[in-house]
Amino acid sequence: MVFLVFCVALEIGLRLSGHGPVDGPFDNTDDKSRRPDNLAALLSQADRYHGWRHLPNRALTNLVTQGAPLITTDRYGFRAGRGWPGRKDQPIVVFLGNSMLFCAEVGDDETIPSQTAGLLERAELDVCALNAASRGYSMLQSLRMLRTCFEQFGERIVCVVYGYCDNDTAEMFFPGMYVPLLSPTLRRAASGGYSEHDAPYAVPDGTRITELRYVPHGWLERHSAIWHLAARPHAPDGSYTPLADDIGYWSRWSWRNGGPQAVEHLLHEMQSECRKRGALLFAASLAIDRDQANGFLDITQRNGVRSFDARQDLQPPVARYLARRDDGQLDGHFNREGARTVAEKIAGQLLPALEKRLDTTTPKN
Does residue 255 carry a pLDDT above 90? Answer: no
* Residue 3 neighbours by CB under 8 Å, 6+ apart: none
pLDDT reported for residue 12: 66
- The confidence band for 315, taking pLDDT boundaries of 50, 70 and 90, is very high
Instruction: For domain 23-358, give the CATH superfamily.
Output: SGNH hydrolase (3.40.50.1110)
| Cβ–Cβ under 8 Å, residues 38 and 29 | no
For the chain, which residues make up each domain, given as ranges?
Answer: 23-358
Taken in order 314, 320, 324, 330, is the CA torsion positive or negative? positive
pLDDT reported for residue 188: 79
Predicted TM-score of the model (pTM): 0.84
H-assigned helices in 73-217: 99-102, 112-122, 139-153, 168-173
- The confidence band for 247, taking pLDDT boundaries of 50, 70 and 90, is low
Phi-psi region of 231 (alpha: psi -120 to 50; beta: other; left: phi over 0): alpha
| Cβ–Cβ under 8 Å, residues 86 and 348 | no
Integer Cα distance of 313 and 316 in angstroms = 10
Integer Cα distance of 293 and 166 in angstroms = 8
pLDDT reported for residue 256: 82
pLDDT reported for residue 212: 61
Q: What is the mean pLDDT of residues 109-120?
A: 98
Does residue 107 carry a pLDDT above 50? Answer: yes
- The confidence band for 64, taking pLDDT boundaries of 50, 70 and 90, is confident
Which range, of 88-92, 211-215, 264-268, averages the lowest pLDDT?
211-215
Instruction: Give percent above pLDDT 90 in the chain.
Output: 52
pLDDT reported for residue 216: 43
Give the CA dihedral 25, 111, 171, 309, nearest 10 degrees. -110
Q: What is the mean pLDDT of residues 106-131?
A: 97
pLDDT tens readout for residues 4-54: 676 667 666 755 555 454 433 323 333 444 555 566 667 888 888 998 899
Integer Cα distance of 346 and 328 in angstroms = 29
Q: What is the mean pLDDT of residues 96-123?
A: 96
Integer Cα distance of 246 and 51 in angstroms = 21
Which range, of 71-75, 176-180, 257-261, 303-307, averages the lowest pLDDT?
176-180
Phi-psi region of 63 (alpha: psi -120 to 50; beta: other; left: phi over 0): alpha
pLDDT reported for residue 283: 98
Greater pLDDT, 319 or 6: 319
pLDDT tens readout for residues 170-209: 777 665 556 566 678 888 777 778 888 887 666 677 877 7
